[in-house]
Amino acid sequence: MSSSPPPRPLILGSTSRYRRELLERLRLPFEVRSPETDETPQPGESPAALAQRLALAKAQAVARQHPQAIVIGSDQVADLDGRPIGKPGTHERAREQLRAMSGKAVVFQTAVAVVCADSGFAAQALAPVRVVFRELSDLEIENYLRAEQPYDCAGSAKSEGLGIALLAAIESDDPTALIGLPLIRTGALLRQAGLDPLLHGASA
């Protein structure tokens, strides 16, 4: 009786520790590679379009180096009134971002793409998360930033930590999307690519 071929190797095309920790929940063995992608927005590009383009570009960049593998790429862009809000990088920029988002609804556009060069598979999905920020005082913002130092997070808001205290509401159909990788959509794309976490994971 012939046995089914082993699943293709899985690679996460991201050096984000948040995405790595999320993908570990699916219990699939995977490696991590840096996608080396230019993340400069194009003129007039919407936050949703930017996130989707970069997610696919990251997956494709790694897939070119590892054609036999299934590669996941992801990107997140905070959307404030149609303007992209990226990672602050510094305390000052984080303070400015949170002041701008205070009392407003922000859509965190989180995109994921799955690519396999050998099989020709390429698909992507968008998981928007609507986040309503409380009216924040400068002291609240300062205390939060000093506690969390969220300078590597789009929009400066780490909802998995103290950042949850910044918020009035979170609306999403894919709960991990706000942290950086929408696992419901990721699982669906992986199954389409031939890799099912419930069949090929460590517990299967």
The pLDDT tens digits for 5-33 are 778 999 999 989 999 999 999 999 999 99
Q: How far apart are CA 175 and CA 147, in angstroms?
A: 24
- Report residue 44: phi and psi, to 5°: 75, 5
Return the higher-pLDDT residue of 160 and 91.
Answer: 91
Task: Answer yes or no: is pLDDT of 92 > 50.
Answer: yes
The pLDDT of residue 94 is 96
Name the 3-class secondary structure at 68.
Answer: coil
The percentage of residues in the chain with a pLDDT greater than 90, rounded to a whole number, is 81
Under the banding of pLDDT at 50, 70 and 90, the label for residue 80 is very high
Task: Answer yes or no: is pLDDT of 2 > 50.
Answer: no
The residue written with tokens 């793409």 in the block is 113
pTM to 2 decimal places: 0.90
Return the higher-pLDDT residue of 155 and 57.
Answer: 57
Domains of the chain: 10-200 (3.90.950.10)
198, 204 contact by CB (below 8 A) = yes
Residue 113 identity = A
State mean pLDDT over 98-110: 96
Question: Among all residues, which ones are annotated catalytic?
Answer: 75
CA atoms within 13 A of residue 187's CA, in its CB half-sphere: 17
The pLDDT of residue 4 is 64
The pLDDT of residue 1 is 41
Q: How far apart are CA 33 and CA 7, in angstroms?
A: 19
The pLDDT of residue 105 is 97
195, 10 contact by CB (below 8 A) = yes
CA atoms within 13 A of residue 83's CA, in its CB half-sphere: 7
The pLDDT of residue 202 is 66
The pLDDT of residue 86 is 84
The percentage of residues in the chain with a pLDDT greater than 70, rounded to a whole number, is 97
| Parallel, antiparallel or unpaired: strands 70-80 and 83-85 | antiparallel
